[in-house]
Amino acid sequence: MSRFQVKKVAVLGAGVMGAQIAAHLVNVRVPVVLFDLPAKEGPKNGIVTRAVENLKKLKPSPLGVAQDAELIEQANYEDDIAKLGECDLVIEAIAERMDWKLDLYKKIAPHVARHAILASNTSGLSITKLSEALPEQLKPRFCGIHFFNPPRYMFLVELINTPTTQPQVLDDLEAFVTSVLGKGVVRAKDTPNFIANRVGIAGMLATLKEVEKFGLTSDVVDDLTGKKLSRASSGTFRTADVVGLDTMAHVVKTLQDNLDEKSDPFYPNFATPPVLAALIEKGNLGQKTKAGFYKKVGRDILRFDLAEGDYVPGGAKADEVYGRMLKKPAAQRLQLLRESEGAQGQFLWAILRDSFHYAAVHLATIAESARDVDFAMRWGFGMQQGPFELWQEAGWTQVAQWIKEDIDAGKALSSAPLPAWVFEGPVASAGGVHTPEGSWSAAESRFVPQRRLPVHARQLFPESVRGANAPKAEDSGRTISDEGDVRVWTLDEEVLIASIHSKMNAISPDVAEALAGAVELAEKEFKGLVIWSPDDKFSVGADLQAMLPAFVVAGIGAVEGAEQALQEVMLRIRYAGVPVVSAVRGLALGGGCELAIHSSARVVAMESYIGLVEVGVGLVPGAGGLTYIARRAAERAEASTGTDLLPFLTEGFTAAAMAKVGTSALESRQLGYLLDSDVVVPNKDELLYVALQQVKAMSEAGWRAPMKRKFKVAGRSGAATIKGQLVNMRDGGFISAHDFHIAGLIAGVLTGGDVDAGTLVTEEYLMTLERKAFCSLILHPKTQERIMGMLSTGKPVRN
Q: Is the dihedral of CA 365, 371, 373, 375 positive or negative?
A: negative
Q: For 340, which DSSP code? A: -
Q: Do 713 and 761 form a contact (C-beta atoms < 8 A)?
A: yes
In this structure, the chain runs to a length of: 799
- Distance, CA of 653 to CA of 246 (rounded, Å): 45
Active site residue 193: no
- Distance, CA of 573 to CA of 291 (rounded, Å): 52
Query: For residue 296, how far is the Cα from the chain centroid?
Result: 26
Q: What is the pLDDT of residue 733?
A: 82
51 CB burial (10 A radius; 0-12, 13-18, 19+): buried
Other beta carbons within 10 Å of 437 = 13
Q: For 450, which DSSP code? A: P
Longest CA pairwise span in the chain (Å) = 86
Other beta carbons within 10 Å of 697 = 14
CA dihedral 300, 304, 307, 309 (to 10 degrees): 90
Question: Beta strands 495-500 and 486-490: pairing type?
Answer: antiparallel
Which SS3 state, helix, strand or coil, does residue 529 take? strand
Q: For 535, which DSSP code? A: S
Q: Phi, psi at residue 62, to the nearest 5°?
A: -75, -10
Query: For residue 504, how far is the Cα from the chain centroid?
Result: 17
Query: For residue 463, how far is the Cα from the chain centroid?
Result: 14
Q: Do 625 and 612 form a contact (C-beta atoms < 8 A)?
A: yes
Q: Do 651 and 671 form a contact (C-beta atoms < 8 A)?
A: yes
Per-residue exposure over 490-510, b if at least 16 CB sit within 10 Å of its own CB, e if not: bbeeebbbbbbebebbbbbbe
Q: Do 687 and 534 form a contact (C-beta atoms < 8 A)?
A: no
Q: What is the pLDDT of residue 552?
A: 66
- Reference 423, options 453, 394, 405, 398; nearest CA is 398
- Distance, CA of 128 to CA of 164 (rounded, Å): 9
Sequence-distant (6+) residues with CB within 8 A of 362 are: 198, 199, 264
Q: What is the pLDDT of residue 553?
A: 66
Question: DSSP labels for 369-423?
Answer: SHHHHHHHHHHHH--SS-HHHHHHHHHHHHHHHHHHHHHHTT-SS--PPPPGGGT
- Reference 478, options 469, 466, 487; nearest CA is 487
Sequence-distant (6+) residues with CB within 8 A of 752 are: 630, 713, 714, 715, 759, 761, 765, 766, 769
Sequence-distant (6+) residues with CB within 8 A of 172 are: 2, 4, 117
Sequence-distant (6+) residues with CB within 8 A of 590 are: 540, 541, 542, 612, 613, 614, 621, 625
- Distance, CA of 470 to CA of 468 (rounded, Å): 5
* Cα atoms found within 13 Å of the Cα of residue 464, Cβ hemisphere only: 23
* Cα atoms found within 13 Å of the Cα of residue 481, Cβ hemisphere only: 16
Q: For 454, which DSSP code? A: G
Tens-place pLDDT, residues 566-604: 999 999 999 999 999 999 999 999 999 999 999 999 999
* Cα atoms found within 13 Å of the Cα of residue 654, Cβ hemisphere only: 12
Choose, from 123, 414, 499, 599, the residue flagged as catalytic.
Answer: 123
Active site residue 149: no
Q: What is the pLDDT of residue 484?
A: 84
Give the chain's end-to-end CA distance (angstroms, integer).
Answer: 62
Other beta carbons within 10 Å of 643 = 10
Overall pTM surpassing 0.75 (yes/no): yes
Question: DSSP labels for 747-773?
Answer: HHHHTTSSS-TT-EE-HHHHHHHHHHH
Taking 70 as the pLDDT cut, the residues of the chain under it are 1-2, 549-554, 642
Q: Do 192 and 254 form a contact (C-beta atoms < 8 A)?
A: yes
Q: Do 633 and 761 form a contact (C-beta atoms < 8 A)?
A: no
Cis ω for the linkage preceding 150 (within 30 of 0): yes
- Distance, CA of 277 to CA of 245 (rounded, Å): 9
Q: What is the pLDDT of residue 543?
A: 83
Q: Do 158 and 377 form a contact (C-beta atoms < 8 A)?
A: no
Choose, from 73, 92, 96, 158, the residue flagged as catalytic.
Answer: 158
Query: For residue 326, how far is the Cα from the chain centroid?
Result: 25
Other beta carbons within 10 Å of 381 = 21
The one-letter amino acid at 765: Y
Choose, from 24, 111, 146, 738, the residue flagged as catalytic.
Answer: 146
Q: Is the dihedral of CA 59, 60, 62, 65 positive or negative?
A: positive
Which SS3 state, helix, strand or coil, does residue 694 take? helix
* Cα atoms found within 13 Å of the Cα of residue 146, Cβ hemisphere only: 29
Q: Do 294 and 247 form a contact (C-beta atoms < 8 A)?
A: no
Q: Do 36 and 13 form a contact (C-beta atoms < 8 A)?
A: yes
- Distance, CA of 428 to CA of 419 (rounded, Å): 12
Sequence-distant (6+) residues with CB within 8 A of 289 are: 283
**Which domains occur in the chain, in start order?**
9-188 (3.40.50.720), 196-391 (1.10.1040.50), 475-782 (3.90.226.10)
Sequence-distant (6+) residues with CB within 8 A of 595 are: 507, 515, 531, 538, 539, 570, 573, 582, 588, 623
Which SS3 state, helix, strand or coil, does residue 729 take? helix
- Distance, CA of 715 to CA of 462 (rounded, Å): 50
Active site residue 741: no
* Cα atoms found within 13 Å of the Cα of residue 507, Cβ hemisphere only: 29
- Distance, CA of 686 to CA of 694 (rounded, Å): 12
Active site residue 197: yes
Q: Do 586 and 608 form a contact (C-beta atoms < 8 A)?
A: yes
- Distance, CA of 484 to CA of 517 (rounded, Å): 11
- Distance, CA of 301 to CA of 238 (rounded, Å): 11
Q: What is the pLDDT of residue 558?
A: 82
37 CB burial (10 A radius; 0-12, 13-18, 19+): middle
The one-letter amino acid at 498: A
